[in-house]
Amino acid sequence: MSAAATDPSANREHAALAMKIEQLPQLVNEDADLVRRGAWIDLQFQIGLGAVPYYVTVAGGRISAFERGPVLMRSSRFQIHVTAEAWRKFWEPIPEPGWHDLLALTKRGAARIEGDLHPLLANLQYFKDLLAAPRRLSSEAR
């Protein structure tokens, strides 16, 4: 059994982070500039919140489907795995140094990117901004 399953505070944190990640479709789709910049993107990728995968379908820059996993044998172009601690710090309105960028997270070992990196790198700013979108929720909550 995982630590998160037995530790009430870890469970609460996971639930709070899940609530944020599950607002990604709305946050992205209401951001007309982000959608414009993603106009050429049509793919499925995966975001990991700890051990929980989310499958994200992007069509013309909009998130057209968003599904919490795991789903057996589901494929995706690339996968971005991030620890719960890293998501929490990354989504602060003003993140601490070293927790403020996807590649800062990979450098420090708090995130891992796997799969076909070509669509990610070819549209890197789009995906960075997509992943950072829940920061707006932290700002609004203040």
Partner 1 sequence: MPAKLEPIVGRYMTLSLSDRPHRLYFEEAGKGIPLVCLHTAGADGRQFRHLMLDEAITAHYRVLAFDMPWHGKSLPPEGWQREEYRLTTAAYTEMVVAFCAALELERPVVMGCSIGGRIVLNLAIEHAARFRALIGLEAADFQQPWYDTAWLNRPDVHGGEVCAALVSGLIAPQSPDVSRHETLWMYKQGGPGVFKGDLYFYRVDGDLRPKIGGIDTKVCPLYLLTGEYDFSCTPDDTARTAKSIPGAEVTVMQECGHFPMSENPAQFRRYILPVLDRIRGS
- Candidates 56, 102, 130, 131; binder of partner 1 (CB under 8 A) is 102
d(CA 63, CA 25): 5
The distance of closest approach from Cβ of residue 122 to partner 1 in the complex, given in angstroms and rounded to an integer, is 5
71 vs 121, which CB is nearer to partner 1?
121
Question: Alpha carbon 8 to chain centroid distance?
Answer: 23
**Buried residues in 81-105 as b, exposed as e (16+ CB within 10 A):** bbbbebbbbbbeeebeeebebbebb
Structure tokens at 51: 């051990």
Does 137 contact partner 1 by CB under 8 A? no
Tell me the closest approach of the beta carbon of residue 103 to partner 1, in angstroms.
Answer: 5
Rule CB under 8 A: is residue 107 a binding residue for partner 1?
yes
Residues 140, 100: Cα–Cα separation, whole Å = 18
- Residue choice 97, 140, 141, 142 for contact with partner 1 (CB under 8 A): 97
Q: What's the one-letter identity of residue 84? A: A
Q: How far is the CB of 51 from partner 1 (least distance, A)?
A: 25
Q: Pick from 12, 74, 128, 139 the residue near partner 1 by CB under 8 A.
A: 128
Q: How far apart are CA 112 and CA 85, in angstroms?
A: 14
Instruction: Determine, following the binding rule CB under 8 A, whether residue 122 of this chain makes contact with partner 1.
Output: yes
Return residues touching partner 1 (CB under 8 A): 94-95, 97-98, 100-104, 106-108, 117-118, 121-122, 124-125, 128
